[in-house]
Amino acid sequence: MKTWRPAENDGAFELTPMIDVVFLLITFFMTVTSFASAEMIQVAMPIAPQAKVPDDIGDRQYISVTEDGIYFLGAFKSDLEHIKIALEARNAKEGFKGAYIRADSHTPYKYIGELMKTCADAGVYNILFGTLNDG
């Protein structure tokens, strides 16, 4: 009587599961990259030809201000109260460097002044201002 025997293993490595995992990783990193690049809204920053960029910007909270005085915490529309809460929470963490303010070149100073006061109220005193270098 003939019995059933499993096929002999020829020692080949099964690549299908590994290819599936690689494609999943590629998809994951492409998605994360697109979210990271969408973190800041576009503002027409002022030109400052003699501005110097620090070597280490570090871990900072990005805050954008539009020409109309609308605040954005990262990519999300916010108000000064929520910005203060977020800055207080970030300031409590080790390694937090401060705020990075990106304001439109036509933003009235009153909006930037209010934001700077909010930063000070939250205990954040190290602030960088985003500018464009002309040359």
In a domain, 12, yes or no: no
Q: Assign residue 119 the CATH number of its domain.
A: 3.30.420.270
Q: Which amino acid is at 108?
A: P
**pTM score > 0.85 for this model?**
no
pLDDT above 90: percentage of residues in the chain: 47
Residue 37: per-residue pLDDT: 52
In a domain, 35, yes or no: no
In a domain, 122, yes or no: yes
pLDDT 10s digits, 35-65:
655 566 788 888 888 888 777 778 889 999 9
Domain that holds residue 112: 59-129
pLDDT above 70: percentage of residues in the chain: 89
